[in-house]
Amino acid sequence: MATRGRNRRPRKTGYWLFLLPGLLLCTLVIVIPVITTVGVSFTEWTGIGTPEWNGLTNYERLLHDDNFWASFRNILLLIVAMAVVPTLLGLFLAALLFDYIAPRAGMRIARALRSGFYLPQVLPLAVTGIVWLWILHPSYGALNRILETVGLGSLASNWLGDPRFALYTVMAVMVWVQIGYPLVMFMAGLQRVPPELYEAADLDGAGWWQRFRRIAIHHIRPEIYIVLITTTIAALKIFGQIFVLTRGGPGNATLVPSYFAYQNYFERANVGYGSAISTVLTLVIVVLTYLFIRVQERGDEA
């Protein structure tokens, strides 16, 4: 036994035993199902009996399916609402709280305000759905009631039921849900910036905007990358919020790929077609992540 201590480091063999249980479970629950889904996407299958090979038919059908294109168009707007807007707002709020409020009113107040913005993040999305469905309900909802009370009754609308507004309403709710996450991340990042930098900038007479752009943005670049990639992926995967708020409707006004796949699996018994949608979405996410990581690595080198 003692001889093992002579090696500069412990031997490297035998560790793979520790990997076995986890690897086995992940293979069973993730790897095999994903491969199966890709396989099923080349077949026609109702979920009963044997799948029938039909080559690329499902993918050809996708190209001509308005619902498919609508779901990806809606996702683009949801990326704006879940990734782009929260990141920009988060940057602004983080700088405001950290750079303006904290030095003047104390870090405690800045943190309390931050917690307020973060609270929507901890809600289960099913609850988020209930709360907003009720607030936005056309007849007994709080928003329309409030509008009527203050004399703006003409603005009252069927926020989630009218195809003209539904997607924008969902987007607004998503901004509310997301805003706390970038804010917390960016404020944590700003604490890393060495105070000397700010002092030097103050001495140089740099304005608020210049300090923000040159120092803050530069230092929290890792956080910005992480927030952008994780929120973009979250937007691509979005299901729960759509399920509880609109079920993709009215029509396909708020349809998203994951809900579209769900419909084909469980409501229309088009398992092959649903698998093709899922496979496309998986590919988009993997490629996007790869590109993000490459851009980030290049950014770090620069």
Partner 1 sequence: MTLTEAPPVTARAAPAPPRRKRRKPWLVLGVLGVVVLLVLAPFLLVLMNAVKTETEYGAGGPLALPHGLNLHGITSFWTRVDFGQKLLNSTLISGSVAVLAVVLSVLNAYALGIGKVRGRKWFLIGFLVANLVPQESLIYPLYYGAKYVDLYDTRLAVIIIFTAIQSAFGTFLLSSVFSAFPTELLDAAAMDGAGRLRTLWQVVVPVSRSTIGVLFTFFFVWTWNELFIPLIFLISNDNQTVPVSLGVLQGEKMMDATTTSASALLGIAPAILFFLVFQRTLTRGVMAGAVK
Q: Does 1 bind partner 1 (CB under 8 A)?
A: yes
Yes or no: say if 25 and 36 are a contact pair by the CB < 8 Å rule: no
**How many CA atoms, within 13 angstroms, populate the side-chain half-sphere of residue 245?**
32
Q: Considering only residues 52, 60, 162, 297, which one is a binding residue for partner 1 as defined by CB under 8 A?
A: 297
Residue 53 backbone phi and psi in degrees, to 5: -60, 130
Q: Which residue lies nearer to partner 1 by CB, 72 or 265?
A: 265
Q: Which residue lies nearer to partner 1 by CB, 61 or 219?
A: 219
Q: Which two tokens stand for residue 293?
A: 């990581």
Q: Considering only residues 170, 216, 233, 235, which one is a binding residue for partner 1 as defined by CB under 8 A?
A: 233
Yes or no: say if 94 and 191 are a contact pair by the CB < 8 Å rule: no
Cβ of residue 293: shortest distance to partner 1, in angstroms?
A: 5
Cα dist from 78 to 68, 139, 236, 254, whole Å: 15, 27, 8, 10
Cβ of residue 64: shortest distance to partner 1, in angstroms?
A: 21
Cβ of residue 145: shortest distance to partner 1, in angstroms?
A: 5
- Interface region with partner 1, contact rule CB under 8 A, candidates 56-64, 71-79, 152-160, 228-236: 228-236
Q: How far apart are the C-alpha atoms of 275 and 37, rounded to whole Å?
A: 5
Cβ of residue 53: shortest distance to partner 1, in angstroms?
A: 17
Amino acid at 77: L
Yes or no: say if 227 and 182 are a contact pair by the CB < 8 Å rule: yes
Q: Considering only residues 75, 94, 101, 253, which one is a binding residue for partner 1 as defined by CB under 8 A?
A: 101
Cβ of residue 163: shortest distance to partner 1, in angstroms?
A: 19
Residues within window 116-155 making contact with partner 1, judged by CB under 8 A? 116-117, 119-120, 122-127, 129-135, 137, 140-142, 145-146, 149
Neighbours of 270 (CB within 10 A): 21
Q: Does 47 bind partner 1 (CB under 8 A)?
A: yes
Q: 71-102: buried (b, 16+ CB within 10 Å) or exposed (e) per residue?
A: bbebbebbbebbbebbbebbbebbbebbbebb
Q: Does 296 bind partner 1 (CB under 8 A)?
A: yes
- Interface region with partner 1, contact rule CB under 8 A, candidates 59-67, 72-80, 156-164, 230-238: 230-238
Q: Does 100 bind partner 1 (CB under 8 A)?
A: yes
Q: Considering only residues 22, 151, 205, 207, which one is a binding residue for partner 1 as defined by CB under 8 A?
A: 22
- Interface region with partner 1, contact rule CB under 8 A, candidates 52-60, 78-86, 113-121, 158-166: 113-121
Residues within window 177-196 making contact with partner 1, judged by CB under 8 A? 179, 181, 184-185, 188-189, 191-192, 195
Cβ of residue 95: shortest distance to partner 1, in angstroms?
A: 12
Q: How far apart are the C-alpha atoms of 61 and 199, rounded to whole Å?
A: 61
Q: Which residue lies nearer to partner 1 by CB, 64 or 298?
A: 298
Q: Does 244 bind partner 1 (CB under 8 A)?
A: yes
Residue 2 CB-density burial (10 A; 0-12 exposed, 13-18 middle, 19+ buried) = exposed
Q: How far apart are the C-alpha atoms of 124 and 132, rounded to whole Å?
A: 13
**How many CA atoms, within 13 angstroms, populate the side-chain half-sphere of residue 238?**
32
The pattern of x and - marking residues 56 through 95 that bind partner 1 according to CB under 8 A reads: ----------------------------------------
